[in-house]
Amino acid sequence: MPSVPNSSAAPEVLLRVTGLTKTYRRVTALDDVGFEVRNGEVLGVIGPNGAGKTTLFECLAGMMPRDAGIVRVNGDLLPATQAGAHLFYLPDAIAPWPSQPVGWALDFTVGFFGGRADRRDDVVRALNLDALLDRRIGTLSKGQRKRAMLAIGLLAPQPILLVDEPFDGLDLRQTRDVSAAVRAHAADGRTIVLSIHQISDAARVCDRFVLLSAGHVRGEGTLDELAAAAETRGAHASHGLEEVFLALT
């Protein structure tokens, strides 16, 4: 695995994944996947469709049984059944409680999960949800729903937030707004892991990256660290994350 060495000044590791493997009958979706997530960072898991990003998130969140692998939080073993105590996973393309208004869903998230009610207004403002609070979730457009779901994720109290395809369905302006909201949230101490297939979106918001392809981790690090690794393979990494990704995968 061509991962890049960590710098000595790196923040403490909050989540460490080693040897994570998942197969669907004869198809290996994740093969000996390993990486780490640092406290307070925004980590992008980058890969094309079918790379195994969603499977990885579902395994981490305990939604799907894994065949092998160890997950540690703050150095302690995290069994799949206890994942909900540390991680909140926001799947892509869901419309939970479609008959209920967005405002109720946010209140429910705060009440049921024990989230912070004082963050509610900030999250609503950051994601431009004021006009949608009385709208039923089932009536929202794809982009509106994505923002409402992200608000749920930002209000959940777990220290690590996993978001599957946070920018899917958003236009450019919305993507920038959501990126800003995610960055602000991370600056407030939350650790966020995003699964992204659009590399340009990932470059905009993430501190570090995990490159995933065909169920394998092909690289891990900051853009500079990955670019250095790519240049050892003869790539012109100055062209950005896309060139780096192509060189390493």
Partner 1 sequence: MRSRSGPFVWLVRKEWRELTASRAWWALLALTGPLVGVSFIAAVNSYAEVSAGAGSGCGFVCNPLDGIWAPTFSAYELAAIFLLPFVAIRLVGGDRQTGALTIELQRPMSPFARMGAKALVLLAGWLVTGLAGLCAAGLWLAYGGSAYAPEIAVVAVGHLLNAGITISLAAAAASMTDHPSTAAIATLAVTVGLWIVDFAAAIHGGVWTTVAAYTPSALVAAFQHGLVQVDVVLIALTIIATGLAVAALWMRPGVPVAGRARDSLALAAVAAVVVFGATQARGSWDASESRRNSFPEGDEQALEQVRAPLTVEVHLAPADPRRQELDHQALAKLKRAMPHVRVFYVSRTSTGLFEEADPGYGEIRYDLGGRHVMSRVITDEGVMETVLGLAGITPAADADDEFHGHPLAVRPVAASWVFYGLWPTVVVGAGVLVLRRQV
Residues that bind partner 1 (CB under 8 A): 61-65, 80-85, 87-91, 93-101, 104, 108, 110-114, 116-118, 134-136, 152, 156, 158
In the complex with partner 1, the residue whose CB is nearer, 158 or 191, is: 158
Query: Cα-atom radius of gyration of the chain, to the nearest Å?
Result: 18
Q: Report the nearest approach of partner 1 to the CB of residue 104 (Å).
A: 7
Q: Report the nearest approach of partner 1 to the CB of residue 52 (Å).
A: 17
Tell me how far the alpha carbon of residue 194 is from its chain's centroid: 2
Query: What kind and span of H or E run contains 242?
Result: helix 241-248
The answer to whether the CB of 13 falls within 8 A of the CB of 37 is yes
Q: Report the nearest approach of partner 1 to the CB of residue 24 (Å).
A: 12
Task: Pull the structure tokens for residue 161.
Answer: 């937030």
Which of 183, 193, 207 lies closest to 162 in space, CA to CA?
193
Q: Report the nearest approach of partner 1 to the CB of residue 71 (Å).
A: 12
In the complex with partner 1, the residue whose CB is nearer, 112 or 131, is: 112
In the complex with partner 1, the residue whose CB is nearer, 43 or 59, is: 59
| Residue matched to tokens 């460490």 | 16
Distance, CA of 192 to CA of 37 (rounded, Å): 9
In the complex with partner 1, the residue whose CB is nearer, 52 or 62, is: 62
Secondary structure letter of residue 12 according to DSSP: P
Q: Report the nearest approach of partner 1 to the CB of residue 80 (Å).
A: 4
In the complex with partner 1, the residue whose CB is nearer, 108 or 128, is: 108
Which of 150, 154, 186 lies closest to 170 in space, CA to CA?
150
Q: Report the nearest approach of partner 1 to the CB of residue 62 (Å).
A: 4
The answer to whether the CB of 29 falls within 8 A of the CB of 177 is no
In the complex with partner 1, the residue whose CB is nearer, 78 or 170, is: 78
* Number of residues that make up the chain: 249
